[in-house]
Structure 1
Amino acid sequence: MSLVQKLVTDEDIFPTKYGKEFPNSFESLVKKICRFLFHVLAHIYWAHFKETVLLDLQGHLNTLYAHFIVFVREFNLVDPKETCIMDDLSEVVCTPPPPSAQNHVTER
């Protein structure tokens, strides 16, 4: 059984029963999992992006990446030093688009 399978199925680490408390090491485990997930995403971009484009999946990958980065930044789950290699991509996919020039709605 792999480490991830053990973590996901271990009731002591991810309790599902009412009243069962999370272990003291829960935060460090979540941070480790998020760090590994970041490495997986970075690898997909680095080694397999051509294939995602050929399969027309780059929009889905970018959306997944943007949501993941916003989440880990919000809860400080991955050290920014670890993610800085992807900062250019993060800036592009995580920055909201400017308001459309065709949007003529103004606040009152």
Structure 2
Amino acid sequence: MDFGKFFSKEKTFRPKKKFQQGTMRYELHKKAEASLNSGLDLKSCVSLPAEEDFNDWMAVHVVDFFNRINLIYGTICDYCTDESCPIMSGGPKYEYMWCDGNKYKKPTKLPANKYIANLMDWIETIINDESVFPVSQGKQAPKSFCDSANSINLTIGLLQWFYRMYNNVYVCSLQEAHINTCYKHYYYFIVEFKLVDRKELEPLKDLTERICH
């Protein structure tokens, strides 16, 4: 499957986060990327490879998922406007409000495009923080990566936000096979390592059961 033809470079929403060639993170990234494009069973591809570090496997996937959802959203950002998407919705039963403790100190209703713009700015800041997601030669994930990610809601928080973005993509009725494949890869990963509460996955439950089981 050629993702390059579907994800046009002109549609990039944010600069792509890259791992430095020659690093172990880069090799793990290439391994994960090859799995996505190989046509293999994605459910088995998310399992931690033998003798690989879980922290690195986690960090690589978070960055890769960010890059993919970034590109996916680039395909709908032109027509997801204040008028067409007045709220950040996960369907008729779900609505998400934005709160960052800074500009928006209380949960605030925003059009989906503004919600996602704020969200992507926040995620990009974390992804580009090499003390959390190092990509350079000789740098490794902090030993406390998983513990600190849990305590300050980094990794699990990021993965949960990615789910909300997929939710919005599907609300916009964008169900291309390529997007379904990216979603399946993401879904199998969070389920494999129990990273997102099942209650958070309710909005796309029917679609998930249809394409992931």
The verdict on a shared fold, with TM-score over 0.5 as the criterion, is yes
Q: CA separation in 2, counterparts of 1:89 and 1:19?
A: 34
Q: CA separation in 1, counterparts of 2:199 and 2:209?
A: 15
> Shift in Å at residue 76 of structure 1?
1.0
Name the structure, 1 or 2, with higher relative contact order (CA <8 Å, separation 6+): 2
Q: Establish whether residue 64 from structure 1 lines up as the match of residue 182 from structure 2.
A: yes
Moved over 2 A (4+): 18-24
Q: State the match for 2:157 in structure 1.
A: 32
Alignment of 1:28-107 (within 5 A): 28-46=153-171, 48-49=172-173, 52=174, 58-95=176-213
Q: Establish whether residue 8 from structure 1 lines up as the match of residue 127 from structure 2.
A: yes
> 3-state DSSP class of the match of 1:25?
helix
Q: CA separation in 1, counterparts of 2:197 and 2:140?
A: 32
The structure with more helix, counted as a fraction of residues: 1
Q: Is the 8 A contact 2:132 2:142 kept in 1?
A: no
Query: TM-score normalized by structure 1?
Result: 0.69
Q: Establish whether residue 21 from structure 1 lines up as the match of residue 143 from structure 2.
A: yes
- Give the paired residue count: 88
> Shift in Å at residue 20 of structure 1?
5.0
Name the larger-Rg structure. Answer: 1
> Shift in Å at residue 18 of structure 1?
4.5
Query: Sequence identity of aligned pairs in percent?
Result: 29
CA RMSD, 1 decimal: 2.2
Q: CA separation in 2, counterparts of 1:29 and 1:45?
A: 24
> Shift in Å at residue 19 of structure 1?
8.0
Letter in 1 for 2:143: E
C-alpha change, 1:22 and 1:10, in structure 2 (3 Å) is: farther
Q: Which whole-Å deviations, capped at 9, do the CAs of 1:49-87 have from their partners, x for residues lacking one? A: 1xx36xxxx111111111111111111111100101211
C-alpha change, 1:20 and 1:71, in structure 2 (3 Å) is: closer
Query: TM-score normalized by structure 2?
Result: 0.37
C-alpha change, 1:19 and 1:8, in structure 2 (3 Å) is: closer
Q: CA separation in 2, counterparts of 1:83 and 1:91?
A: 11
